[in-house]
């Protein structure tokens, strides 16, 4: 055995895998209680509302525990990885998740188009009377995608504060997106337009709402990244920021489909 | 170095993992083998739950009755039919197969664990709580009662106002989330973490079928997820997707559901097919005939499975041209299956067969699948489907296919039982269970072809069909008995079975059989490799720490 092979083997045995975590169980218990509450939330009973809140709390705390736990899974290099030799596990996983998310949004957008065709394509006008909030939001999201890249560049230059600043900008732009959307929805609500008003508003609020949920999820991750970057993470290994960027760009691209569909056409 | 293995895999210093007899172990474990066992046991529990519902249905159908007569009320009957379908398709079949997938796939490809072990544990627990939520839904004014396909408009609160119906939808939703996480995990593992020399073409057939299953899951369950999110929103938030445009809303549901639903048939059947292929090879002592073509056929089915969904919708207003296209793709998808069936049969002809219990189940599964496949072609033809849709022909057909798949998976549980538990099952009781299973199965489902004019989902039928329905009910109890005997066999053998050697099967050729039964926590001492064309374990140097102690030894 060559020296190189020996060194490689030595490195491998030093790597110790973890086999235990309580958080998956706790997360699931939280989800169960949350969904039980959700099932009867419309009854207005305190039991269901409190289950809803308690479940959400357990879920959130467990997610933080899950994220904070140091967990060592199997690490490469592995024997055969075709066709993903150059794409490490986490990156492969993120791409696969995004592929599935494409179908999810595809089904939502497809449903909206299907319903519009059933309704009569031309007798359908966009729900928001003003295109401007949507346009502003498009620019906000595009810019926030750009600042994620700035964060990546900053970590490559070992610039800790640069990374924190770029990520914070991303976060603020995302919050701006949501606030702008909140103002818009509030405005529509006072015009008497809400989820259950008619099938047109149903598609508008639910599809952009699903997108908004993706934005909120992204912002939670961003907060986490800011916290970690502040403590000096990612300067040696910025892959996490790169993978978050993949997700964030995806959310951005989805908006580029939703904006014309629900604001212009 | 074999002596240093802990053959029960239960050493307490397993990197912070408590021993196997500790309950805590099973709450915190992220190891693929432990989670595989959890999946298998949980899914068997749901098998019993769905099976009891099926027996209730069969008892009610002993005679054609008016609503309120017999042991089930009309509402209870509809709940039973719906929950039986949902539990068997979602909470039993796939998770049962994924118990094996969890346990066996990393062993077959030479990996230490799945790519994301914690995510794997999360998938399992979400699966479990989704099943618990479905169980709870029975007590929230009754579970969903609109059929397992959850068709609109029956899925709307106007027709299913009980809270339990919403819970059932949410249960299905979180189940889909668990499946999506699992798919990502398995895809990453199989594509990235194979031993050296194990190229895709060299992969064992069971791993191949799981790989293609998870590819289908990744996309199919995303469509179901969208459907369920929209449905939950219609039920809870008050959107009007499925009611706002009249019948078109119902059509939208069928598109979303069957875009998932047809690949789901192959998602359920593929792992069984993979297990059958492994078992045929092992017990004929011969490599499968036309292996490359077998794999090509699997890949073809995987792709084509996304282009056949509208054959479930021949009775809707879709125009005839589109229906014809989907008839062609549907009949066409039976061709690769023919190839696989012939390849399995030729393997039998060319090899020397050992009639063990797993082989009998695998062979039985093949016969049942052939009958199920042929009767399915009738349904794929538009004109015949006009006649057969909504009758017991459909019920009989898909039970032959789906429960035919279960037969293959039972073959799998007998086949891998020695590897997982380290004990041999009782061969004699195993064969008895097969005979009862095969007789019970055919007594149960074959008469339904003859009594095909019975309307589906309804608890009354023409009195001339009574004898056939009574035979079916008797068959149902024989089938249930065979499961009871099987579970007894597994339970008993756990304590007084003989110790299993590394490989109890003479001609088993896949990697899992080169390990002790059961395998140690981290599977391999060295690094498995096929680089030189055969299996070797590259020695892994024990790393000396400052104190001169070794890490892996106790």
The pLDDT score that the predictor gives to residue A42 is 93
| Interval B399-415 mean pLDDT | 97
CA B91, CA B143: separation in Å to the nearest integer? 15
Global pTM reads: 0.93
Three-state helix/strand/coil letters over B145-177: CCCCCCCCCCCCCCCCCCHHHHHHHHHHHHHHH
Residue A1 pLDDT > 60, yes or no?
A: no
Asked whether residue A76 carries a pLDDT value surpassing 90, the answer given is no
pLDDT digits (tens, 9 = 90+) for B470-528: 999 999 999 999 999 999 999 999 999 999 999 999 999 999 999 999 999 989 888 89
B320-350 vs B291-304: helix crossing angle, rounded to 10: 160
Position of tokens 């090509």?
Answer: B296
Pairing of β B536-538 and β B527-529: antiparallel
Would you tell me which residues 80-119 of chain B have a C-beta closer than 8 angstroms to some C-beta of chain A? 110-119
Q: Is the pLDDT of residue A215 over 50?
A: yes
What residues contact residue B545 under an 8 Å CB cut-off, 6+ apart? B551
Higher pLDDT, residue B123 or A9:
B123
Peptide bond into B153 cis (omega under 30): yes
Q: Does B199 touch chain A (CB under 8 A)?
A: yes
Where does the pLDDT of residue B533 fall: very low under 50, low under 70, confident under 90, or very high at 90 and above? confident
Which B positions 225-264 lie with beta carbon below 8 A of chain A? 225-227, 229-230, 233, 236-241, 244-246, 248-249, 252, 255-256, 259
Which of B163, B192, B227 shows the shortest C-beta gap to A89? B192
Give the tens place of pLDDT for each residue, A125-176: 999 989 999 999 999 999 999 999 999 999 999 999 999 999 999 999 999 9
CB contacts of A17 in chain B (<8 Å) are 15, 112-113, 117, 522
Residue to substitute from B127, B192, B537, interface A, most A β-carbons within 10 A: B192
ipTM: 0.93
Instruction: Mention every residue, 6+ apart, whose C-beta is less than 8 A from residue B471.
Output: B443, B447
Report chain B residues whose CB lies below 8 A from the CB of A102: 222
Taking the CA atoms of residue B524, residue B529, residue B534 and residue B540 in that order, the dihedral angle to the nearest 10 degrees is -60
- Of A12, A69, A92, which has the smallest distance from its Cβ to B540's Cβ? A12
**Chain B environment of A59 (Cβ under 8 Å):** none
Q: Which three-class secondary structure state does DSSP give residue B499? A: strand
Sorting pLDDT into bands at 50, 70 and 90, what band is B541?
low
Burial of B25-53, coded b for 16+ CB within 10 Å and e otherwise, reads bebbbbbbbbbbbbbbebbbebbebbbeb
Minimum CA–CA partner of B221 in chain A: A100
**Architecture of A89-264 per CATH?**
Up-down Bundle (1.20)
Q: How many interchain CB pairs under 8 A, A with B?
A: 255
* Contact of A222 with A172, CB cutoff 8 Å: no
The pLDDT confidence band at residue B540, using thresholds 50, 70 and 90, is low
Cross-chain CB nearest to A24 (options B118, B222, B542): B118
Residues with Cβ within 8 Å of residue B412, at least 6 apart in sequence? B100, B271, B272, B275, B278, B279, B358
Map residue B510 onto helix, strand or coil: coil
* Radius of gyration of the CA atoms of chain B, in A: 24
According to the model, what pLDDT value does residue B15 have?
A: 61
Contact between B529 and A79 using a beta-carbon 8 Å cutoff: yes
Over residues B336-377, the pLDDT tens digits come to 999 999 999 999 999 999 999 999 999 999 999 999 999 999
Can you list the domains of chain B with their CATH numbers?
23-523 (1.20.210.10), 525-554 (no CATH)
Rounded-to-integer distance, Cα A162 and Cα A173, Å: 16
For chain B, positions 325-354, list CB contacts with chain A under 8 A. none
Distance CA A19, CA A11 (A): 19
Give the CA radius of gyration of chain A. Answer: 22
CATH architecture of residue range(s) A3-68: Orthogonal Bundle (1.10)
Domain limits, chain A? 3-68, 89-264
């Amino acid at each position: 055995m060559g020296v190189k092979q020996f060194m490689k083997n030595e490195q491998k045995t030093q790597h110790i895998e973890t086999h235990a975590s309580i958080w998956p169980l706790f997360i699931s218990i939280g989800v169960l209680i949350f969904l039980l509450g959700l099932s009867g939330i419309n009854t207005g009973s305190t039991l269901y509302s409190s289950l809803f809140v308690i479940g959400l709390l357990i879920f959130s705390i467990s997610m933080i525990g899950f994220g904070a736990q140091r967990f060592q899974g199997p690490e490469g290099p592995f024997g055969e990885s075709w066709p993903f030799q150059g794409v490490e596990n986490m990156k492969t996983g993120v791409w696969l998740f995004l592929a599935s998310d494409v179908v999810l949004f595809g089904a939502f957008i497809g449903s909206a188009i299907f319903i519009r065709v059933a309704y009569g394509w031309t007798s359908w006008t966009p729900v928001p009377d003003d295109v401007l909030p949507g346009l502003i939001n498009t620019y906000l999201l595009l810019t926030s995608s750009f600042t994620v890249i700035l964060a990546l560049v900053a970590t490559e230059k070992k610039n800790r504060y640069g990374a924190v600043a770029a990520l914070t900008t991303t976060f603020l732009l995302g919050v701006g997106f949501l606030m702008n959307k909140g103002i818009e929805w509030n405005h529509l609500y006072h015009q008497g337009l809400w989820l259950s008003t008619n099938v047109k508003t149903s598609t508008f609020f639910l599809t952009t709402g699903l997108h908004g949920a993706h934005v909120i999820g992204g912002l939670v991750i961003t907060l986490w990244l800011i916290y970690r970057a502040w403590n000096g993470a990612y300067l040696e290994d910025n892959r996490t920021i790169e993978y978050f960027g993949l997700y964030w760009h995806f959310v951005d691209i989805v908006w580029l489909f939703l904006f014309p569909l629900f604001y212009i056409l | 170095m074999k002596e240093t293995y802990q053959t029960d895999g239960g050493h307490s210093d397993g990197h912070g993992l408590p021993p196997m007899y500790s309950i805590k172990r099973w709450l915190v474990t992220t190891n693929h083998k432990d989670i595989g066992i959890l999946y298998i046991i949980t899914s068997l529990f749901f098998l019993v739950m769905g099976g009891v519902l099926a027996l209730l249905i069969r008892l009610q159908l002993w005679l054609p009755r008016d609503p309120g007569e017999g042991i089930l009320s009309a509402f209870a009957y509809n709940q039973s039919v719906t929950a039986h379908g949902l539990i068997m398709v979602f909470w039993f079949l796939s998770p049962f197969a994924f118990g094996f997938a969890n346990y066996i796939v990393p062993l077959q490809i030479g990996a230490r664990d799945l790519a994301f072990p914690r995510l794997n544990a999360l998938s399992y627990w979400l699966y479990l709580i989704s099943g618990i939520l479905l169980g709870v839904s029975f007590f929230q004014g009754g579970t969903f009662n609109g059929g397992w396909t959850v068709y609109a408009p029956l899925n709307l609160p106007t027709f299913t106002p009980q809270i339990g119906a919403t819970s059932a939808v949410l249960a299905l939703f979180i189940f889909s989330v668990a499946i999506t996480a699992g798919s990502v995990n398995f895809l990453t593992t199989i594509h990235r973490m194979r031993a050296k020399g194990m190229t895709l073409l060299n992969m064992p057939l069971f791993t191949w079928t799981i790989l293609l299953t998870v590819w289908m899951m990744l996309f199919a369950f995303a469509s179901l997820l969208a459907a369920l999110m929209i449905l939950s929103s219609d039920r809870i938030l008050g959107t009007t997707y499925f009611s706002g445009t009249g019948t078109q809303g119902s059509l939208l549901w069928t598109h979303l559901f069957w875009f998932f639903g047809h690949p789901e048939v192959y998602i359920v059947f593929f792992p069984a097919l993979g297990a059958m292929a492994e078992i045929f090879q092992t017990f004929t002592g011969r490599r499968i005939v036309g292996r490359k073509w077998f794999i090509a056929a699997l890949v073809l089915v995987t792709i084509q499975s996304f282009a056949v969904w509208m054959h479930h919708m021949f009775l809707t207003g879709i125009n005839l041209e589109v229906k014809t296209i989907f008839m062609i793709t549907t009949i066409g998808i039976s061709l690769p299956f023919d190839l696989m069936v012939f390849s399995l049969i030729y393997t039998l002809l060319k090899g020397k067969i050992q009639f063990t219990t797993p082989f009998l189940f695998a062979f039985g599964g093949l016969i049942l699948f052939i009958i199920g496949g042929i009767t399915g072609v009738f349904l794929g033809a538009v004109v015949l489907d006009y006649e057969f849709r909504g009758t017991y022909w459909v019920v009989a057909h898909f039970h032959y296919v789906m429960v035919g798949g279960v037969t293959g998976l039972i073959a799998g549980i007998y086949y891998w039982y020695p590897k997982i538990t380290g004990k041999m099952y009782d061969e004699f009781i195993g064969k008895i269970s097969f005979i009862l299973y095969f007789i019970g199965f055919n007594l149960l489902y074959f008469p339904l072809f003859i009594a095909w004019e019975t309307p589906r989902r309804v608890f009354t039928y023409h009195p001339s069909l009574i004898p056939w329905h009574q035979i079916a009910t008797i068959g149902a109890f024989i089938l249930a008995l065979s499961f009871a005997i099987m579970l007894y066999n597994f339970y008993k053998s756990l304590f007084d079975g003989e110790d299993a050697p590394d490989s109890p099967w003479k001609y088993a050729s896949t990697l899992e059989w080169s390990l002790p039964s059961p395998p140690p926590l981290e599977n391999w001492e060295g690094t498995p490799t096929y680089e030189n064309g055969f299996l070797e374990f590259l020695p892994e140097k024990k790393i000396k720490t400052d104190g001169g102690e070794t890490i892996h030894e106790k």
